[in-house]
Amino acid sequence: MISNHLLFKLASGEVFGPDQPIALKLLGSERSFQALEGVAMELEDSLYPLLKEVSIGINPYEVFQDAEWALLIGAKPRGPGMERADLLDINGKIFAEQGKALNAVASRNVKVMVVGNPCNTNALICLKNAPDIPAKNFHALTRLDENRAKCQLALKAGVFYDQVSNVTIWGNHSTTQVPDFLNARINGSPVKEVIRDTKWLQEDFTEKVQKRGGVLIKKWGRSSAASTSVSIVDGIRSLVTPTPEGDWFSSGVYTNGNPYGIAEDIVFSMPCRSKGDGDYELAMDVIFDNHLLERITKTEAELLAEKRCVAHLIGEGVAFCDLPEDTMLPGEM
């Protein structure tokens, strides 16, 4: 469902711009191959001027050939009675194989966005299995969480969402994620000067963002496909268009060399800025208080535990799973 929304945005020029031709290579499985054929037919029938090619396949070593962008959306959902560690292992094997295929045949500067959950650790597995591609090129999607945070701050302040800036999601795409109101701004002013209800910011705001997906499932009967596809578009556009002066965006990226003291060798959502060339730098003008640091430490510990669970998939020996608690997002169920 996410792909069905996203593909037509890609083909229309909404993502990479009105002058950029695009070739779509769709990777599926034997089970989904007929659906792939159907969506390819719809794309062809839509006569998008920028869409120069649609091809489909089930072998990543063929589909990923010379790819410049890889959007890794598919992952196994969590089934009844399945432990989180089991899901990490099952999906980890998928992303290990896809990382190897990207390493073998994709462009040497391919940009990779991992959407399939648990996306932070899946992105880590993927990049560890693609040693010839810069680790900095791998992203885990946390933009939907950022968009949700902006929405809640705008609603509370009674402003339109475009007045909200400098919103960061720190850490894991799970219920330990940290929506940062300390550094966020509304109409250029610190959020805490506009919304003076500290209890709401520390409790209600954070919980609403963390659990928004679960509330949506209860209302809608399924997870958020349309808004996820919008957030993928936003995430790509943030890398191919210059970041507005003074602002930043959230993305799960590799932590080596980060200036915040976050543990290295994990994929952690942090504030990024881009010149519009597909690359990014981490924002330096960030402040921390004890409340923010405590929450960052908790989500960091979870990602380190997830990493230990998949050690066998990233070349670090025997896996050992000691996840502190089950914080899987409802959409992963």
Topology of domain 2-140, per CATH?
A: Rossmann fold (3.40.50)
State mean pLDDT over 119-141: 98
Q: What is the pTM of this model?
A: 0.96
Mark whether 173 is an active-site residue.
yes
Pairing status of strand 189-190 against strand 249-254: unpaired
pLDDT at 327: 64
Numbered ranges of CATH 3.40.50.720 in the chain: 2-140
197 alpha carbon, distance to own chain's centre: 30
pLDDT at 219: 87
Q: Is the pLDDT of residue 324 over 80?
A: no
Positive or negative, the CA dihedral 144, 146, 147, 148 is positive
Band of residue 333 on the pLDDT scale cut at 50, 70, 90 = very low
pLDDT at 76: 84
pLDDT at 215: 85
CATH label, 142-306, candidates 3.30.460.20, 3.40.50.1970, 3.40.50.1580, 3.90.110.10:
3.90.110.10
pLDDT at 228: 95
Q: How far is CA 29 from CA 37, 66, 111, 120, 283, in A?
A: 12, 20, 22, 23, 39
- Which of 5, 173, 291, 312 is the catalytic position? 173
CB burial string 237-267: b at 16+ within 10 A, e below: bbbbeebeeeebbbbbbbbeeeebebeeebb
